[in-house]
Amino acid sequence: LPRIDYTGGEGHWLFEPQSTNLVIYSEDFSQSSWTKSNTTITSNSVISPDGILNGAKISASAPFAQMQQNYTSINDANYTLSVFAKLPSSNVIALRLASGSNDVRREFNLSTLSIQSMGGNNQELINEGIENYGNGWYRIFLTCKADGTSAFLNIYPKNSSDATLQSVFIFGAQLEQQSYATSYIPTNGSTVTRLADAANG
């Protein structure tokens, strides 16, 4: 059966290339694969874009709170990090992709739907964006080129100044070797690959 994409307001068949979610726990942020600093995770806190109670709340317990996951990148390949986010208290959630000398850090303001730098050199930043998924959920993403094989990603619950401890709802973290974010691929303890869509006849 074909997959139907309604994100543009009208349904159409969804055809995508093969892609792999390199985040090994895309919904369970309490797992040890997510290295946490000054961050508290409350699982199953909100109805996610899947329509069930499996969205997590990440809360800062001290300034500069973050979660990190390491991965092995391919030099000069493009990687896209995406996550669904919703606001309980913070206007801002930030993402980071770092590999070699490249360090891309971006703040996504879900109230003004604006994006700005939060430091780093933003070298090899290719694309970024905020997509409205309804019911207060947004999918934020950034794409950059890897510089080396040792890499990591970060998610920050924060406001612009880090002066006030904040929290944000998140769901569906995804990292893929693509130049754009493809549709969400759930993972639970390992990477997962979705095969390419095809139509014949």
- Taking only the tens place, the pLDDT of each residue in 64-119 is 889 999 999 999 999 999 999 998 877 889 999 999 889 999 999 999 999 998 88
39-47 and 78-86: which strand pairing? unpaired
State the pTM of this model: 0.92
Task: Give the torsion through C-alpha atoms of 117, 120, 123, 125, to 10 deg.
Answer: -40
Inter-residue contact 99 to 164 (CB < 8 Å): no
Higher pLDDT, 72 or 120: 72
- Taking only the tens place, the pLDDT of each residue in 163-182 is 567 889 999 999 999 999 99
pLDDT(159) > 80: no
